[in-house]
Homo-oligomer: A and B are copies of this chain.
Amino acid sequence: MGRSVHVQSDNTTDMEISSPQQAAADSPQSPYGVGFPPRRKLASQFAHRVKETFFSDDPLRPYKGQPRSRKLFLGLQHLFPIFDWGRSYSLDKFKGDLIAGLTIASLCIPQDIAYAKLAHLDPQYALYTSLVAPLVYSVMGSSRDIAIGPVAVVSLLLGTLLSDEVDPVKNKEEYLRLAFTATFFAGVVQAALGFFRLGFIIDFLSHAAIVGFMAGAAVTISLQQLKGFLGIMDFTTKTDIISVMKSVWRAVQHGWNWQTILIASAFLAYMMVSKYISKKKKKLFWVSAIAPLISVILATFFVYITRADKKGVQIVRKIEKGINPSSAGKIYFSGPNAAKGIKIGVVAGMVALTEAIAIGRTFAAMKDYQLDGNKEMLALGSMNVIGSLTSCYVATGSFSRSAVNFMAGCNTAISNIVMSLVVLLTLLVITPLFKYTPNAVLASIIISAVIGLIDFQEAHRIWKVDKLDFLACLGAFFGVVFISVEIGLLIAVLISFAKILLQVTRPRTVRLGNLPGTTIYRNVEQYPDTIQAPEFLIVRVDSAIYFTNSNYARERIMRWLRDEEDYVKENNLPKINFLIVELSPVTDVDTSGIHAFEELHAALRKHEIQLLLANPGAVVIQKLRSSGFIDLIGQDKIFLTVGDAVQANCAPKEGEA
């Protein structure tokens, strides 16, 4: 694998340029045969496979050739990245972090109080979550831009899953304990995925499915807000659009509360306008960032002055003062509730992880730093485990707050610490002031926050690029909106999988032709200029040949041959004598694939057609060799390129003619 000077670009020396020329003139075939890679021992093959599967990011790279004490320090840094970036932290960076931290705090406090309702929990639990989780993350996490806390989608998902098991009003204490249990196991699952380097599992939720799921969740969450927005007392506990619309319609007859609607609409309008302003002028990002806080302050003040709560405007009423109590004793570690907690925790934990990793990756790409997915999972998992012991529920990265954090100029996770301290002050001092905050303004805050999760542009782009992806996107969306959050998620995963299976079951096969004047052979549909060599049929299979598609591939090749033989007969062209299978895209075969080759070879022999193979890759040639297929067809039937295969089998015939 040594490097040497490149020859192709250097046209001056005779020797180097003569060879391709001569190759083209004298013997048009290239002077190379197909390479047989050196056989590797089973153990080294296995080690290589394991490394690529679980350690593809080569995490031990910085440790190579370091003394032991340094290795220990690097390991500590790896687990707690704060030791890494903390050493070069400066006052200059702190300025940015302070402003960003204060901004996201002003956004997070009203959002928290609102999101807790989605999870059917008292508002203080969301504030507790915003106090502890960011502190843990800032020590262990490696994203510099993510803003940690409760988020709308996970709150809704948790609320739905938990209330399927326990009634949040009748069995309040049991519900709370189950919430902590689910949070604990969500954290354990997240940390375990990271620790066992199984982070790639979250990749199974495709981008398109996430877009659909998020939009569906946004619609569902907004619909849920109609309760607070319209001041409806008796509201369904279901989340599907039909149940919600029935509830809303039933409430019409009892009369909606006009004062509530007035408050809600006014502040929603204010927040939407401020969002629009921030979008138009990036510098004015703070206008939309502080809008929720201003809305809460104004609305609370307004209700307090007018005593609108006596006229049917529902208010927060009570919010616990003081910092997080311990909840370690409240987690179920055994019994049926532990099983329920594990089930809910796994689902909520995976969704939370998907959201956090997507955010982390987006901002890491924008600022060009590496983000180790497995390490992030360990950090997020530890955060939720610690959170579950201190009265927090599942926290993750928030899309809206992370964007604000980024635009406010955050430099490190210190902005999360600043936010956490502001939340601490809030919990210690000013929570009683939220007593008169109307639920209506909280509904407006949620609606204005989640509306950004509906990404029409991206949906349109998915439609343009890949119709099956769009189907996954739509499936997830309608599943969430019309059935439930879990079913939507399930549909998204199933369609994504079905797409993979379709691809491995029905790979494309194409026919190749020669680009005149070159030795290049390409897909005849993509390159209409191509011409066919007489006596040859050249096909390419566009996939690894596995048990899922080996029969299809073989039968499809035979169908190409039948079609071509019919065509040849009709037009009195020379009979097909050679079938070349171009194997460049065939990255692997298994035993079923080799069977298919054997059957193809046998069938072709009956037709008196020779089977030639072009450009088998390293793995394919090894397997063809160890299965004895190469001995069966003869090593002279395997060529470096399609051009070589054509020329080697053309030349003698031309000479005879």
Contacts and interface: CB of A to CB of B under 8 A. Distances in A.
B3 A45 contact: no
A45 B529 CA distance: 22
A207 B506 contact: no
- Among A6, A31, A603, A623, chain B packs the most CB atoms within 10 A around the CB of A6
B7 A464 contact: no
Interface stretch (A216-224, A284-292, A390-398, A512-520): A512-520
A515 to B, nearest CB: 5
Interface stretch (A16-24, A164-172, A246-254, A318-326): A16-24
Contacts of A532: 3-4, 6
A531 B3 contact: yes
A31 B518 CA distance: 9
A56 interface: yes
Contacts of A35: 522-523, 526-529
A592 B556 CA distance: 29
Pick from A28, A462, A591 the residue with the most CB of B within 10 Å.
Answer: A591
Given A208-B590, A368-B603, A496-B547, A523 B617 contact: yes
A539 to B, nearest CB: 14
A617 to B, nearest CB: 7
B506 A52 contact: yes
Interface string A613-653: 00001110101001100000000000011010011001101
Contact of A207 (B208, B496, B595): B595
A565 to B, nearest CB: 13
A58 B559 contact: yes
Contacts of A516: 7, 16, 19
A243 interface: no
Contacts of A585: 584-585, 587, 617
Contacts of A517: 7, 16, 19-20, 23, 31
A91 interface: no
A433 interface: no
B203 A534 contact: no
Given A3-B573, A469-B590, A8 B21 contact: no
A8 B646 contact: yes
A361 interface: yes
A468 to B, nearest CB: 8
Given A520-B32, A654-B10, A546 B500 contact: yes
Q: Say which size band chain A's interface belongs to.
A: 35 or more
A56 B546 contact: no
Interface string A11-39: 10000110111011100101110011100
A7 B45 CA distance: 44
Contacts of A46: 467
A310 to B, nearest CB: 53
B555 A57 contact: yes
Contact of A28 (B5, B11, B534): B11
A533 B623 CA distance: 30
A26 to B, nearest CB: 9
Contacts of A599: 361, 365
Contacts of A502: 53
Contacts of A653: 9
B519 A20 contact: yes
B32 A529 contact: yes
Contact of A542 (B518, B587, B590): B587
A536 B5 CA distance: 11
Contacts of A207: 547, 590-592, 595
Interface in A427-484: 461-462, 464-469
A30 B465 contact: no
A544 B551 CA distance: 20
A654 B9 contact: yes
A552 interface: yes
Given A17-B25, A35-B522, A35-B527, 13 more contacts: A9-B646, A9-B647, A16-B516, A24-B24, A32-B520, A32-B529, A42-B467, A207-B591, A365-B602, A466-B591, A469-B591, A522-B640, A543-B587
15 contacts: A3-B534, A8-B514, A8-B647, A11-B654, A17-B24, A35-B523, A35-B529, A37-B526, A56-B552, A203-B552, A208-B591, A361-B551, A368-B603, A466-B591, A526-B618
- In the A-B complex, the 7 residue pairs with the smallest Cβ-Cβ separation, listed nearest first, are A9-B650, A19-B517, A206-B547, A6-B533, A542-B587, A526-B618, A35-B527
Interface of A: 1, 3-11, 16-17, 19-21, 23-25, 28, 30-32, 35-37, 42, 45-46, 52-53, 56-58, 200, 203-208, 361, 365-366, 368, 373, 461-462, 464-469, 496, 499-508, 510, 513-520, 522-529, 531-534, 536, 542-544, 546-552, 555-556, 559, 567, 571, 573, 584-585, 587-588, 590-592, 594-595, 599, 602-603, 606, 617-619, 621, 623, 626-627, 640-641, 643, 646-647, 650-651, 653-654
